[in-house]
Amino acid sequence: MNIRFEEAGVSFDARIALHPLTLTLSERRIGIIGLNGSGKTTFARLVNGLAKPSTGRVTVNGLDTIADAKEVLGTVGYIFQSPQNQIILPIVRDDIAFGLKSRGLGKAAIEAAVDAILSRFGVQHLAGRRAHELSGGELQMAALCSVLVTGPDILILDEPTNQLDLRNRTRVQETMAGLPENLIVISHDLPLIADFDRVLLFHDGHLVGDGRPAEIIAQYREIAA
């Protein structure tokens, strides 16, 4: 993974959502923390092109997030804080298949890919379920399957344990730990990222901390106190 920010920042009219910053991300598991409105989600959305830089540029594995937007979307998967918002079709199996249909695959290949991703995460029983009937943990797993079936190299998760009970939080954490994909995780759940390779701390639109989890989490606790 090679993500480069080159004086990249985001402004909305007169408001600066993220002040320009320059850095390179290459670690396999990166946590992003900060108070609400600190700029962390804007930063993460710059990585897959959901947000466009007002200044500077962002590249992902050599791809410019504006000039190569389609290729970047294929490289970076994103799971929203409310995963039900990105599940398009009512039946889980159909929703997982949806992302593959634009790739020119035949019906048999799509069905095999869907079966494989459901089996990978041990959630075959969700295939015929309706999305609105799923629990929070089941929604996270369905969204994970829908994103990873397309084969992204990098996965961004926005508050993946938000509003989950202990059982489902544990399951999501264990699933994340077993993923071979590169992970960027936005979270207020500090223990979730405590063993990550690197943590970034945002405050008032600025990157104010960047380093090992223990050090940056301690810095965050001081800001949040």
Q: What is the pLDDT of residues 77-130, one digit of tens each?
A: 999 988 888 888 999 999 999 888 877 788 999 999 999 999 999 999 999 999
Quickly tell me which residue has 């990550």 as its tokens.
196
Q: Does residue 12 have a pLDDT over 90?
A: no
Q: How far apart are CA 143 and CA 65, in angstroms?
A: 23
**DSSP-assigned letter for residue 224:** H
The region of weakest confidence among 27-36, 37-46, 92-101 is 92-101
Q: Which two tokens stand for residue 76?
A: 């970076």
Residue 106 maps to which CATH number?
3.40.50.300
Question: What are the two backbone dihedrals, phi and then psi, of residue 214, each rounded to the nearest 5 degrees?
Answer: -60, -45
Q: How far apart are CA 55 and CA 16, in angstroms?
A: 11
Which domain does 204 fall in, by range? 3-224
**What is the rounded average pLDDT for all residues in the chain?**
93
Q: How far apart are CA 221 and CA 142, in angstroms?
A: 33
| H helix or E strand, kind and range, residue 124 | none
Q: How far apart are CA 98 and CA 112, in angstroms?
A: 13
Q: How far apart are CA 155 and CA 174, in angstroms?
A: 16
Report the domain count for the chain.
1
Give residue 102's pLDDT: 74
HSE-CB for 112 with a 13 A CA cutoff: 5
* 3-state class (DSSP) for residue 47: helix
Question: What are the two backbone dihedrals, phi and then psi, of residue 219, each rounded to the nearest 5 degrees?
Answer: -65, -40
- Confidence grade of residue 30 (pLDDT, cut at 50, 70, 90): very high
Q: Are 32 and 207 spatial neighbours (Cβ–Cβ below 8 Å)?
A: no
pLDDT one-digit tens code per residue, 146-176: 999 999 999 999 999 988 888 889 988 999 9
Give residue 223's pLDDT: 94
Give residue 13's pLDDT: 84
Q: Are 27 and 199 spatial neighbours (Cβ–Cβ below 8 Å)?
A: no
Which residues, at least 6 apart from 138, have a Cβ–Cβ distance to it below 8 Å?
123, 126, 129
Q: How far apart are CA 185 and CA 171, in angstroms?
A: 16
